[in-house]
Amino acid sequence: MHYISTRGTLADQSFSQILLGGLAPDGGLYLPAEYPQVTPAELDTWRTLSYADLAYEILKKFATDIPDADLHALAHKTYTAEVYRNVRSGEDASRITPLRLVEENGGTKLMLQALSNGPTLAFKDMAMQLLGNLFEYALACQHAELNIFGATSGDTGSAAEYAMRGKKGIRVFMLSPHKKMSAFQTAQMFSLQDPNIFNLAVDGVFDDCQDMVKAVSNDLEFKKKHKIGTVNSINWARVVAQVIYYFRGYLSATTSNEQKVSFTVPSGNFGNICAGHIARMMGLPIDKLVVATNENDVLDEFFRTGIYRVRKSAETYHTTSPSMDISKASNFERFVYDLVGRDGARVRALFAKVETQGGFDLSGKPGSDGDEFAKVPQFGFVSGKSTHADRVATIRDLYQKHDLMIDTHTADGVKVAREHLTPGVTMIVLETALPAKFNETIREALGRDAERPAGFENIEDLPQRFEVMSTDIDKMKAFIAAHTGL
């Protein structure tokens, strides 16, 4: 398996060669030269596997340069009931991502896939725990160090820090938008006192943080000198780890490969649903991939109109599903690459236009940049939008009808999923976090606090350690340089 850049100017690379990096040197994102295919016979065999064994089977299709025994050990070290222990009442921890039937109407099921049983109570743990173990393995093989530079709108940061804390040879520099995460999310990150963790609160929005990560990644000399890597979803290994739970969800919801399912995914940066796109391209029988946005509806606009229009910082709303307060979806480029026929030069031109003119238009209308929007249905994508009033109403509705408490982002997913049900096709909504992480809105919707797993009872009261930074790239580089010892 070899990897190429979405912008078409990079020689083939192996999985291990791209593992510790983020952007390709030409500014593009890594993708396999060809997607590995999964046969019906393999799906049948995989139905009875544990999550760790399923992870191994999928990973070895992508990480062909890592010895099988090592890959098997990494999968089994990562996906254990001890790591993913924050299960809801009645769920089986050994399943890692158990399904829960929410409602059924005339044979059409709406289900929730629990992805938030890990140490930071968010779906990001599903990939980040694996990434931490992969990084440690690769660094040990190379006798090397790594300085992770990432950005978070809420959950990526804590998942990365909990996965990397205490890892030999790894430091984490994590940017987050100052005062724009929930109190729980903020405390979960800033209360960490590990000397290899650096929390940097940026005066701006998430997109400003993400732009800074890309700017540093594009400075190839600085990146090489200071051994910079990334854990954001631009990192290919993180996307691969997310592919696994689409297979698990499908196999758990069906009894035959003749059946199809749909997935609804709360989405801001397009990383989570991009993994679903890859699973579908591998041959997983997925009907629809439903993109659920909040008020920051850049992706919904594209999947309705073919126009990708990035919003400026001042136009980005601060909402009650803050992890989706994103107006420039960094993983979207991977899908666009497939949409335009894997034409790297075309992708390079389109995303150059994003930087200079704020977007592009593939609607096919006079004056547009192309007509590929007409091909979107071939990839199964549809979309919808949810507002604060929608998510509060959905949280209340599920609690009253089903005694089920969900977080704000998952509520956005359920609201949009209900709009895209197909008779006879199971719809799986990917859970994004436990409701305790967004207690302010839970109280508004239900008049009570969300339950907290053991160990998180008073997290907001813990001492916090962080630095407030501007969006000045040079000052950020100086901070990194001063704390890497390189």
pLDDT tens, 341-357? 999 999 999 999 999 99
User: For this structure, is 312 an active site residue?
Assistant: no
Query: Which is it for strands 228-229 and 261-266: parallel, antiparallel or unpaired?
Result: unpaired
Query: Does residue 261 belong to any structural domain of this protein?
Result: yes
E strands in 210-250: 228-229
pLDDT of 106 reads 87
Residue 391: which domain range?
A: 93-120+238-446
Distance CA 360, CA 193 (A): 43
Q: Is residue 45 part of a domain?
A: no
324 in any annotated domain = yes
Instruction: Evaluate if residue 22 carries a pLDDT over 80.
Output: no
Domain-embedded: residue 464: no
Long-range pairs of 296-301 with CB within 8 A, sequence gap ≥ 24: 296/268, 296/324, 296/325, 296/326, 296/327, 297/385, 298/326, 298/327, 298/328, 298/329, 299/267, 299/268, 299/270, 299/329, 299/332, 299/383, 300/383, 300/384, 300/385
The active-site residue, picked from 60, 61, 109, 124, is 124
- CATH number where 359 lies: 3.40.50.1100
* Per-residue model confidence as pLDDT tens digits over 360-414: 999 999 999 999 999 999 999 999 999 999 999 999 999 999 999 999 999 999 9
Tell me, yes or no, whether 436 lies in a domain: yes
Q: Is residue 361 part of a domain?
A: yes
203-213 confidence digits (pLDDT tens):
999 899 989 99
Q: Give the bridge partners for 301, in sequence order.
A: none
Provide the number of structural domains found in the chain. 1
Q: For residue 174, what are the β-bridge partners?
A: 150, 199
- Tell whether 302 is covered by a domain: yes
Q: Is residue 144 part of a domain?
A: no
Cut 0.85: pTM above it: yes
Task: Please compute the mean of the pLDDT values over residues 434-452 and round it to a whole number.
Answer: 95
pLDDT band at 59 (very low <50, low <70, confident <90, very high): very high
